[in-house]
């Protein structure tokens, strides 16, 4: 088993330079361009996927009756249900994903920075939240490397993302092989990394391998995976 595994990453389609934003603006992202040879991207634009056109009226998250709704300006279309259904179905179909890179601030893809408005006519911002697609990503894949394009411009955040992304990709292959020797090799090659991320979870990973010599490999890997994912979870 080779050491390099190409990570599989869900990517906001607008970050590829495609014309899919509401205003047809083309985004040039140098970080994404540099990653293209190293990563298998799975581009998606949730707003296009639910039938919206380019260009289009903007969509906005509204707080209504203590519930968040996704509405389109001027048309007043309520897109909440169709966006939720698409997000659930699309992410349910994804297998072997190692990371996600989403467009910051988007009402569908923002992570913690999507604006929540009081209503459709006012520009008063009540709060910030995650976009509807992003919220489903975080719910389904809490252990994956998930970031936005804006956060990745920070050197420390970007370095942490790369480390977690490639470690997750390598471990995905280890799980597929279901081989105890491969698991031990993976652990030994990365033990100093794991110690640096979370010493307590590292010790539990060590214990899982050390104390389960007579257990079936798939059972050992399943328990190891729980500690591995918690070890590498984003701390900030």
Tell me the per-residue pLDDT of 40-67, one tens digit each, with 9 for 90 and over: 999 999 999 999 999 999 999 999 888 9
Q: Tell me: pLDDT of 228 over 60.
A: yes
Q: Are residues 222 and 129 in the same domain?
A: no
Residues 13 and 66 in one domain: yes
Do 135 and 81 lie in one domain? The reply is yes
Q: Are 149 and 183 within one domain?
A: no
Task: Please tell me whether residues 122 and 183 are part of one structural domain.
Answer: no
Count helices and strands (H / E) in the chain: 8, 8
Is residue 159 a part of any domain in this protein? no
Q: pLDDT digits over 62-101, tens only? A: 998 889 999 999 888 999 999 999 999 999 999 999 999 9
163 pLDDT exceeds 90?
yes
At 215 the pLDDT is: 76
More confident residue, 74 or 205: 205
> What's this model's pTM, rounded to 2 decimal places?
0.94
Q: 145 and 210: one domain?
A: no
Does 24 share its domain with 130? yes
The answer to the question of residue 172 being in a domain is: no
Give the per-residue pLDDT at 213. Answer: 67
Do 27 and 133 fall into the same domain?
yes
pLDDT at 131: 98
146 and 209 in one domain?
no
Tell me, yes or no, whether 16 and 71 share the same domain.
yes
112 and 13 housed in the same domain: yes
Range of the structural domain that residue 134 is part of: 8-153
């Amino acid at each position: 088993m080779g050491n390099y595994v190409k990570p599989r990453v869900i990517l906001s389609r607008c970050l590829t330079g495609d014309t899919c934003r509401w205003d047809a603006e083309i985004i040039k992202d140098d970080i994404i361009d540099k990653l293209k040879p190293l990563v298998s991207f799975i581009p998606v634009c949730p707003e296009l996927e639910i039938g919206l056109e380019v260009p289009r009226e903007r969509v906005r998250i509204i707080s209504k009756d203590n519930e968040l709704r996704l509405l389109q300006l001027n048309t007043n279309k309520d897109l909440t249900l169709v966006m939720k259904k698409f997000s659930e179905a699309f992410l349910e179909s994804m297998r072997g994903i190692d990371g996600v890179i989403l467009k910051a601030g988007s009402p569908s893809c923002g992570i913690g920075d999507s604006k929540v408005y009081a209503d459709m006519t006012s520009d008063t911002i009540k709060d910030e939240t995650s976009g509807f697609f992003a919220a489903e990503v975080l719910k389904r894949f809490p252990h994956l490397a998930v970031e936005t394009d804006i956060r990745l411009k920070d050197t420390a955040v970007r370095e942490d993302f790369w480390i977690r992304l490639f470690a997750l990709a390598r471990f995905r292959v280890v799980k597929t092989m279901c081989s105890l020797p491969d698991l031990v090799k993976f652990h030994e090659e990365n033990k100093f990394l794991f110690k640096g991320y979370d010493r307590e979870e590292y010790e539990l990973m060590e214990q899982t391998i050390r104390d389960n010599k007579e257990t079936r490999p798939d059972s050992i890997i399943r328990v190891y995976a729980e500690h591995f994912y918690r070890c590498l979870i984003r701390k900030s």
